[in-house]
């Protein structure tokens, strides 16, 4: 059986802890590899290696760093198909969805090719009598990313691309459920000309995470995952003096107005609710039709679409979605469906009994659809992270808006309507970080920033876009005056521009 170690100093190294995690093939339920779980000492060794390499990389001019990113893009495109196949086989999402995972990560790397411009500081000539003032952005040093299983290419690249472009050394702790793509990305960065030690992968569990959070040489940590862990990581990182951007759970609402084009709405809802088996932080998991007539029309069109979803192995190009990542996660999602029935919601479509012929031990589940869900139910309050859609009926637009605003999560939301006034009002008043207007999954493009509000996000700066450069650099401001502009005599008052 294949054993996955760590990527340190430009090469894969075996783990020394003697502890391993299973990497499954979700299509069949088989264990296809085992991954080493690092000790605190192993994490420390990775950080020391990264620290030794960072100084020279940070001193490399931004244009040359950008050229490495350009070469990396070329190499990933060369291996697009094999990377997508590798990703699908460990995660469970379809190959075509895996290609989207990779592409959205590459788009952030593409945006970072403009790093020579984005790292420019400011300059003021004659800020005072014979005084010039300027600022410069400098790398932090060694930074780390702790990333989730659901996007094993995209989110590591969202973290690594800006961090490396800004001149930092980067330590990635990917999910131990699907670590192979991050390991391959590290090899491709090396082939692209990135110096050894600048991109490192340390696989592990909570011990590795805590070692990263406590290490004195790691200056910043980025995390994506569940809200309880995001809050834990944010607090522990801050306690040790690190910058932290931590993104947590979501319960994304789609408000459906009476004037919405129902066919377009259902098309959008099917893809956003059930794509990737619902294992997306931007998945629509709550549909909020406004008015009973809207709700009834929605259900008439939605139910047969959910019933006809095609579930298949990850390698089936015609499948709408594939298996879930592990048996434990599958059981957890089915448990939420059981809970919804107990709570009194109406289970209109039940996918719990789905099995795939020839793949009976795979981690499959059909689409589930609840109607008459109410805000007091746990299936409404909590993130399920599976192919389960809840319909919460609202009598008015104001009630639908209040539902969205009152939920503890504020990651993404959408409104479907033909009414420009309603759309504009919703975008202005909704208390959520990312908003779609007739767009079901409003993930911003790479040159904007990605981030939720409320308990979906901890920290002041978002992922990618301008915020990423701010997060991975520190600003130094210089005030300069040369001898010809200096008057004789000591000055005892604070300098002013009066």
Residue 342: give its domain's CATH number: 3.40.309.10
Asked if residue 330 and residue 241 are part of one domain, the reply reads: no
Check if 368 is active-site: no
Asked if residue 36 and residue 131 are part of one domain, the reply reads: yes
CATH number at residue 94: 3.40.605.10
> What's the average model confidence in pLDDT over 309-319?
96
Q: Is residue 449 part of a domain?
A: no
Total residues belonging to the chain: 498
Residue 491, pLDDT above cutoff 80: no
Q: Is this structure's pTM higher than 0.85?
A: yes
Rounded Cα distance between 138 and 161, Å, is 16
* Domain total of the chain: 2
User: pLDDT digits over 395-407, tens only?
Assistant: 999 999 999 999 9
Asked if residue 385 and residue 244 are part of one domain, the reply reads: no
Rounded Cα distance between 390 and 436, Å, is 19
Q: Is residue 474 part of a domain?
A: yes
User: pLDDT digits over 236-267, tens only?
Assistant: 999 999 999 999 999 999 999 999 999 999 99
Q: Is residue 462 part of a domain?
A: yes
Asked if residue 433 and residue 333 are part of one domain, the reply reads: yes
Distances in Å between the alpha carbon of 12 and those of 80, 154, 304? 21, 21, 49
Q: Domain range spanning residue 279?
A: 252-437
Asked if residue 278 and residue 241 are part of one domain, the reply reads: no
CA 89 to chain centre: 20
Asked if residue 267 and residue 217 are part of one domain, the reply reads: no
Q: Is residue 448 part of a domain?
A: no
Rounded Cα distance between 232 and 246, Å, is 9
| Pairing label, strands 453-454, 409-410 | antiparallel
Asked if residue 183 and residue 35 are part of one domain, the reply reads: yes
User: pLDDT digits over 415-432, tens only?
Assistant: 999 999 999 999 999 999
Q: Is residue 411 part of a domain?
A: yes
> What's the average model confidence in pLDDT over 437-466?
94
Residue 44, pLDDT above cutoff 70: yes
Asked if residue 257 and residue 221 are part of one domain, the reply reads: no
């Amino acid at each position: 059986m294949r054993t996955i170690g760590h990527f340190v100093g430009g090469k894969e190294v075996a783990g020394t802890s003697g502890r391993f995690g299973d990497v499954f093939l979700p299509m069949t339920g088989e264990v296809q590899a085992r991954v080493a779980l690092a000790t605190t000492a192993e994490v420390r060794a990775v950080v020391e290696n990264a620290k030794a390499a960072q100084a020279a990389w940070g001193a490399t001019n931004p244009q040359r760093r950008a050229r490495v990113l350009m070469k990396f893009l070329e190499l990933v495109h060369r291996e697009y198909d094999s990377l997508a196949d590798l990703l699908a086989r460990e995660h469970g999402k379809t190959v075509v969805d895996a290609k989207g995972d990779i592409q959205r990560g590459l788009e952030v790397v593409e945006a970072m090719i403009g790093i020579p411009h984005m790292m420019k500081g400011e300059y003021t000539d004659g800020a005072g009598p014979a005084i010039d003032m300027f600022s410069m952005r400098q790398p932090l040093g060694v930074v780390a990313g702790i990333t989730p299983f659901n996007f094993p290419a995209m989110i590591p690249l969202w973290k690594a691309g800006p961090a490396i472009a800004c001149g930092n050394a980067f330590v990635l702790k990917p999910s131990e459920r699907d670590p192979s793509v991050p390991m391959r990305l590290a090899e491709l960065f090396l082939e692209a000309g990135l110096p050894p030690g600048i991109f490192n992968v340390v696989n592990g569990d909570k011990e590795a995470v805590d070692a990263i959070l406590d290490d004195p040489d790691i200056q910043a940590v980025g995390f994506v995952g569940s809200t309880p862990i995001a809050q834990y990581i944010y607090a522990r990182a801050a306690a040790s003096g690190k910058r932290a951007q931590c993104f947590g759970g979501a319960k994304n609402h789609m408000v459906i107005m009476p004037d919405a084009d129902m066919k377009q709405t259902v098309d959008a809802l099917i893809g956003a609710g059930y794509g990737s088996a619902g294992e997306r932080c931007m998945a629509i998991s709550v549909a909020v039709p406004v008015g009973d007539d809207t709700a009834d029309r929605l259900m008439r069109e939605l139910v047969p679409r959910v019933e006809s979803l095609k579930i298949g192995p990850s390698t089936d190009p015609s499948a709408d979605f594939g298996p879930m990542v592990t048996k434990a996660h599958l059981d957890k999602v089915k448990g939420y469906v059981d809970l919804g029935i107990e709570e009194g919601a109406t289970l209109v479509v039940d996918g719990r009994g789905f099995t795939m012929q020839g793949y009976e031990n795979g981690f499959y589940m059909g689409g589930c659809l609840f109607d008459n869900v109410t805000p007091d139910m746990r299936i409404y309050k909590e993130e399920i992270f599976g192919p389960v859609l809840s319909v919460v009926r609202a009598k008015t637009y104001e009630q639908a808006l209040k539902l969205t605003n009152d939920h503890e999560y504020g990651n993404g939301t959408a409104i479907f309507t033909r009414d420009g006034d309603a759309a504009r009002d919703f975008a202005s008043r909704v208390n959520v970080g990312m908003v779609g207007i007739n767009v079901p999954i409003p993930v911003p493009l790479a040159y904007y920033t990605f981030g939720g509000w409320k308990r979906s996000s901890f920290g002041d700066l978002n992922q990618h876009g301008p915020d990423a450069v701010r997060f991975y650099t520190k600003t130094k401001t210089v005030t300069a005056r040369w001898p010809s502009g200096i008057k004789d005599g000591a000055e005892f008052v604070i300098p002013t521009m009066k």
